[in-house]
Amino acid sequence: MSIALVTGGNKGIGKATAARLIELGHTVYIGARDAERGEAAAKELGAQYLSLDVTDDSSAAAAAAELADREGHLDILVNNAGVTGAHVTLETLSAEHMRAAYEVNVFGIVRVTQAFLPLLRGSSAPVIVNVSSLLGSFGSITNPYGQQYAIFAPIYGSAKAAVNMLTVQYAKELPGMRVNSVEPGYTATDLTGGQGLQTPEEAGANVARWATIGPDGPTGIFAYKETIAPW
Protein backbone atom coordinates (compact mmCIF):
# COMPACT_ATOMS: atom_id res chain seq x y z
CA MET A 1 0.00 0.00 0.00
CA SER A 2 1.34 3.42 -1.00
CA ILE A 3 1.64 5.87 1.91
CA ALA A 4 1.33 9.62 1.34
CA LEU A 5 1.76 12.60 3.66
CA VAL A 6 0.30 16.01 2.84
CA THR A 7 1.41 18.87 5.07
CA GLY A 8 -1.17 21.56 5.75
CA GLY A 9 -3.73 19.00 4.66
CA ASN A 10 -6.65 20.12 6.77
CA LYS A 11 -7.98 22.71 4.31
CA GLY A 12 -7.65 24.26 0.87
CA ILE A 13 -5.36 22.76 -1.73
CA GLY A 14 -3.78 20.39 0.79
CA LYS A 15 -7.12 18.89 1.73
CA ALA A 16 -8.16 18.59 -1.92
CA THR A 17 -4.84 16.92 -2.75
CA ALA A 18 -5.35 14.45 0.08
CA ALA A 19 -8.86 13.70 -1.17
CA ARG A 20 -7.61 13.06 -4.70
CA LEU A 21 -4.82 10.77 -3.51
CA ILE A 22 -7.35 8.78 -1.50
CA GLU A 23 -9.52 8.46 -4.61
CA LEU A 24 -6.48 7.04 -6.39
CA GLY A 25 -6.09 4.36 -3.73
CA HIS A 26 -3.33 5.74 -1.52
CA THR A 27 -3.27 5.72 2.26
CA VAL A 28 -3.04 9.40 3.16
CA TYR A 29 -1.85 11.12 6.30
CA ILE A 30 -2.87 14.73 6.85
CA GLY A 31 -0.17 16.70 8.62
CA ALA A 32 -1.57 19.64 10.58
CA ARG A 33 -0.66 21.48 13.76
CA ASP A 34 -4.27 22.07 14.82
CA ALA A 35 -5.42 18.69 16.13
CA GLU A 36 -9.13 19.52 16.05
CA ARG A 37 -9.09 20.68 12.44
CA GLY A 38 -6.69 17.97 11.34
CA GLU A 39 -8.70 15.17 12.89
CA ALA A 40 -11.95 16.57 11.50
CA ALA A 41 -10.53 16.75 7.98
CA ALA A 42 -9.04 13.26 8.26
CA LYS A 43 -12.37 11.83 9.43
CA GLU A 44 -14.24 13.57 6.62
CA LEU A 45 -11.88 12.27 3.94
CA GLY A 46 -11.08 8.84 5.30
CA ALA A 47 -7.46 9.85 5.92
CA GLN A 48 -5.20 9.55 8.95
CA TYR A 49 -4.20 12.53 11.10
CA LEU A 50 -0.57 13.21 11.93
CA SER A 51 0.30 15.99 14.36
CA LEU A 52 2.84 18.14 12.54
CA ASP A 53 3.91 21.75 12.96
CA VAL A 54 6.28 22.52 10.09
CA THR A 55 7.82 25.40 12.05
CA ASP A 56 9.01 23.15 14.87
CA ASP A 57 11.97 20.75 14.69
CA SER A 58 10.76 18.54 17.51
CA SER A 59 7.27 18.30 16.00
CA ALA A 60 8.68 17.18 12.63
CA ALA A 61 10.91 14.61 14.33
CA ALA A 62 8.04 13.28 16.44
CA ALA A 63 5.76 13.05 13.39
CA ALA A 64 8.38 11.10 11.46
CA ALA A 65 8.88 8.74 14.40
CA GLU A 66 5.14 8.16 14.68
CA LEU A 67 4.79 7.42 10.97
CA ALA A 68 7.77 5.08 11.16
CA ASP A 69 6.03 3.14 13.92
CA ARG A 70 2.70 3.05 12.10
CA GLU A 71 3.81 2.41 8.51
CA GLY A 72 7.56 1.91 8.33
CA HIS A 73 7.98 3.90 5.13
CA LEU A 74 6.67 6.86 3.12
CA ASP A 75 6.10 6.86 -0.64
CA ILE A 76 4.80 10.38 -1.29
CA LEU A 77 5.60 13.61 0.55
CA VAL A 78 3.61 16.68 -0.49
CA ASN A 79 5.11 19.80 1.08
CA ASN A 80 1.97 21.88 0.81
CA ALA A 81 1.84 23.89 4.06
CA GLY A 82 2.28 27.56 3.30
CA VAL A 83 1.29 31.12 4.06
CA THR A 84 1.03 34.17 1.82
CA GLY A 85 2.89 36.36 4.26
CA ALA A 86 2.02 39.93 5.19
CA HIS A 87 0.50 42.20 2.59
CA VAL A 88 3.12 44.91 2.34
CA THR A 89 4.16 47.87 0.24
CA LEU A 90 7.73 48.73 -0.60
CA GLU A 91 7.70 51.17 2.33
CA THR A 92 6.37 48.67 4.91
CA LEU A 93 8.38 45.62 3.85
CA SER A 94 10.63 44.37 6.65
CA ALA A 95 12.94 41.48 7.50
CA GLU A 96 10.48 40.38 10.18
CA HIS A 97 7.73 40.07 7.59
CA MET A 98 10.05 37.94 5.46
CA ARG A 99 11.14 35.76 8.35
CA ALA A 100 7.60 34.81 9.38
CA ALA A 101 6.70 33.57 5.89
CA TYR A 102 10.03 31.85 5.31
CA GLU A 103 9.63 29.90 8.54
CA VAL A 104 6.67 28.07 7.01
CA ASN A 105 7.23 28.22 3.26
CA VAL A 106 10.96 27.55 3.08
CA PHE A 107 12.39 26.35 6.40
CA GLY A 108 9.30 24.20 6.87
CA ILE A 109 10.07 22.28 3.69
CA VAL A 110 13.66 21.67 4.79
CA ARG A 111 12.54 20.68 8.28
CA VAL A 112 9.92 18.20 7.10
CA THR A 113 11.90 16.78 4.20
CA GLN A 114 14.95 16.13 6.37
CA ALA A 115 12.83 14.46 9.05
CA PHE A 116 11.08 12.14 6.59
CA LEU A 117 14.00 11.30 4.28
CA PRO A 118 14.75 8.00 6.08
CA LEU A 119 11.14 6.90 5.53
CA LEU A 120 11.19 7.99 1.89
CA ARG A 121 14.35 5.96 1.37
CA GLY A 122 12.33 2.94 2.46
CA SER A 123 10.05 3.33 -0.58
CA SER A 124 10.62 1.62 -3.91
CA ALA A 125 9.48 4.74 -5.82
CA PRO A 126 9.59 7.81 -3.54
CA VAL A 127 8.19 11.16 -4.68
CA ILE A 128 8.49 14.63 -3.16
CA VAL A 129 6.25 17.43 -4.38
CA ASN A 130 6.94 20.98 -3.24
CA VAL A 131 3.91 23.19 -3.83
CA SER A 132 5.22 26.37 -5.41
CA SER A 133 3.90 29.34 -7.40
CA LEU A 134 4.53 31.17 -10.65
CA LEU A 135 5.03 34.22 -8.44
CA GLY A 136 8.35 32.58 -7.58
CA SER A 137 9.27 32.09 -11.24
CA PHE A 138 11.79 34.55 -12.66
CA GLY A 139 10.55 33.68 -16.14
CA SER A 140 6.97 34.55 -15.24
CA ILE A 141 7.55 37.59 -13.04
CA THR A 142 9.75 39.26 -15.68
CA ASN A 143 7.38 38.57 -18.59
CA PRO A 144 5.50 41.84 -19.25
CA TYR A 145 2.72 39.89 -20.97
CA GLY A 146 2.17 37.51 -18.06
CA GLN A 147 -0.33 37.74 -15.21
CA GLN A 148 2.40 37.79 -12.57
CA TYR A 149 4.30 40.77 -13.98
CA ALA A 150 2.31 43.51 -12.24
CA ILE A 151 2.07 41.78 -8.86
CA PHE A 152 4.28 43.06 -6.03
CA ALA A 153 4.83 40.01 -3.83
CA PRO A 154 8.41 40.15 -2.51
CA ILE A 155 7.69 37.92 0.49
CA TYR A 156 5.66 35.15 -1.11
CA GLY A 157 7.47 35.34 -4.45
CA SER A 158 10.97 35.16 -3.04
CA ALA A 159 9.95 32.33 -0.70
CA LYS A 160 8.60 30.30 -3.61
CA ALA A 161 11.73 31.05 -5.64
CA ALA A 162 13.68 29.56 -2.74
CA VAL A 163 11.36 26.53 -2.80
CA ASN A 164 12.18 26.03 -6.47
CA MET A 165 15.90 26.12 -5.75
CA LEU A 166 15.45 23.62 -2.92
CA THR A 167 13.64 21.35 -5.35
CA VAL A 168 16.55 21.39 -7.78
CA GLN A 169 19.11 20.81 -5.05
CA TYR A 170 17.20 17.89 -3.54
CA ALA A 171 16.60 16.38 -6.98
CA LYS A 172 20.33 16.44 -7.76
CA GLU A 173 21.27 14.83 -4.45
CA LEU A 174 18.45 12.26 -4.49
CA PRO A 175 18.61 10.67 -7.96
CA GLY A 176 16.54 7.71 -6.77
CA MET A 177 13.61 9.98 -5.93
CA ARG A 178 11.31 12.14 -8.05
CA VAL A 179 11.50 15.67 -6.59
CA ASN A 180 9.53 18.42 -8.30
CA SER A 181 7.97 21.82 -7.70
CA VAL A 182 4.33 22.20 -8.72
CA GLU A 183 2.27 25.31 -9.37
CA PRO A 184 -1.29 24.16 -8.58
CA GLY A 185 -2.90 27.17 -10.26
CA TYR A 186 -4.60 30.29 -8.93
CA THR A 187 -7.15 28.77 -6.59
CA ALA A 188 -10.05 30.10 -4.55
CA THR A 189 -9.00 29.32 -0.95
CA ASP A 190 -8.67 31.09 2.39
CA LEU A 191 -5.18 32.17 1.37
CA THR A 192 -6.53 34.05 -1.64
CA GLY A 193 -9.55 35.48 0.12
CA GLY A 194 -11.79 33.22 -1.91
CA GLN A 195 -10.50 34.60 -5.20
CA GLY A 196 -9.19 32.33 -7.92
CA LEU A 197 -9.60 30.83 -11.36
CA GLN A 198 -10.28 27.28 -10.19
CA THR A 199 -11.57 25.21 -7.30
CA PRO A 200 -9.42 23.52 -4.66
CA GLU A 201 -10.46 20.20 -6.21
CA GLU A 202 -8.95 21.20 -9.55
CA ALA A 203 -5.78 22.37 -7.84
CA GLY A 204 -5.59 19.18 -5.80
CA ALA A 205 -5.84 17.13 -8.97
CA ASN A 206 -2.92 19.10 -10.43
CA VAL A 207 -0.75 18.39 -7.40
CA ALA A 208 -1.80 14.74 -7.18
CA ARG A 209 -0.91 14.23 -10.87
CA TRP A 210 2.73 14.99 -10.07
CA ALA A 211 2.66 13.22 -6.73
CA THR A 212 1.82 9.96 -8.46
CA ILE A 213 4.37 9.92 -11.26
CA GLY A 214 6.25 6.66 -11.67
CA PRO A 215 9.95 6.01 -11.09
CA ASP A 216 10.64 6.88 -14.74
CA GLY A 217 8.98 10.28 -14.40
CA PRO A 218 10.83 13.60 -14.50
CA THR A 219 12.68 15.04 -11.54
CA GLY A 220 14.03 18.49 -10.75
CA ILE A 221 11.37 20.32 -12.75
CA PHE A 222 8.83 23.07 -12.12
CA ALA A 223 5.47 21.78 -13.32
CA TYR A 224 2.24 23.61 -14.09
CA LYS A 225 -0.70 21.32 -14.85
CA GLU A 226 0.67 18.97 -17.53
CA THR A 227 3.42 21.26 -18.73
CA ILE A 228 6.79 22.61 -17.58
CA ALA A 229 6.81 26.11 -16.10
CA PRO A 230 9.71 28.55 -16.52
CA TRP A 231 12.14 28.94 -13.64
Cβ atoms within 10 A of the Cβ of 70, count?
Answer: 12
Catalytic residues: 156, 160
